[in-house]
Amino acid sequence: MSIYRIIDKLETYVREGTWLPFGLRILSEKRLYEFVDKMRSTLPEEVGRAKVIATNKDRMIRQAQEKAQQIVIEATETHSHLIDQQEVVKRARTMAEALLREAQEQAVRVRGGADAYAAQVLADLEGRLTVALGSVKKGQEALDLQASEQRNLRSDADASSDERMFFDAQSEQTRLLESVEIAT
């Protein structure tokens, strides 16, 4: 049964009680105690807890204030920790950006150095190839000159051999003529 129903029954009992002069009523003490016992038994546990809280309200208020103060302190510490972390993150980003810029600059320097080295090697190779090509051309010219001289020598030799043959033939004719003359 609910507490409200018991209160309603108690109220009805008091109204229906016997009237006496001067506005008094006669009620059974036993019946009144029954209503009080029913009310106690139907009161929820929360009422008992509320009674304990009411008696200990000062202590509970103090505990709540201490807990609130502790929460504020923890929140302040957390806030300062987060701010510190944010500062650390900002510093880390700044350092990372500086390192990235430095790495990019170094990469440009290395690339420029590599390009300069490659250009130097290619120029050196071009010089060596030019010298080698000059040597090849001189060798070809020497071979051409030698071949030309040999051709000239052969021509001279052929001409000289033709002259010798002509000279030999004349000499032979002269000897024949002389021998014919001597014989005559």
pLDDT value of position 71? 92
Residue 17 lies in a domain: yes
The Cα-based distances of 101 to 83, 91, 96, 108 in angstroms read 27, 15, 9, 11
Let me know if residue 26 belongs to a domain.
yes
d(CA 152, CA 146): 10
Tell me whether residue 79 is in a domain.
no
pLDDT in tens, 33-54: 888 888 887 777 667 777 777 7
The whole-number pLDDT of residue 45 equals: 66
Q: Give a yes or no: residue 39 inside a domain.
A: yes
Q: At what angle do helices 57-183 and 45-55 cross, to 10 degrees?
A: 90
Residue 108 CA to residue 37 CA, distance in Å, equals 95
Question: Which H/E stretch holds residue 143?
Answer: helix 57-183
Query: In this structure, is residue 110 part of a structural domain?
Result: no
Q: What's the pTM value of the predicted model, to 2 decimals?
A: 0.34
CB 15 within 8 Å of CB 25: no
Range of the domain at 30: 3-43
Per-residue pLDDT of the chain (184 residues; tens, 9 = 90+): 677 888 888 888 888 877 777 777 778 889 888 888 888 877 776 677 777 777 777 787 888 889 989 999 998 888 888 887 888 778 888 898 999 999 889 988 888 888 888 888 888 888 888 888 888 888 888 888 887 877 776 766 565 666 666 666 677 777 776 766 665 5
Interatomic CA distance for residues 55 and 58, integer angstroms: 8
137 domain-assigned: no
How many separate domains does the chain show? 1
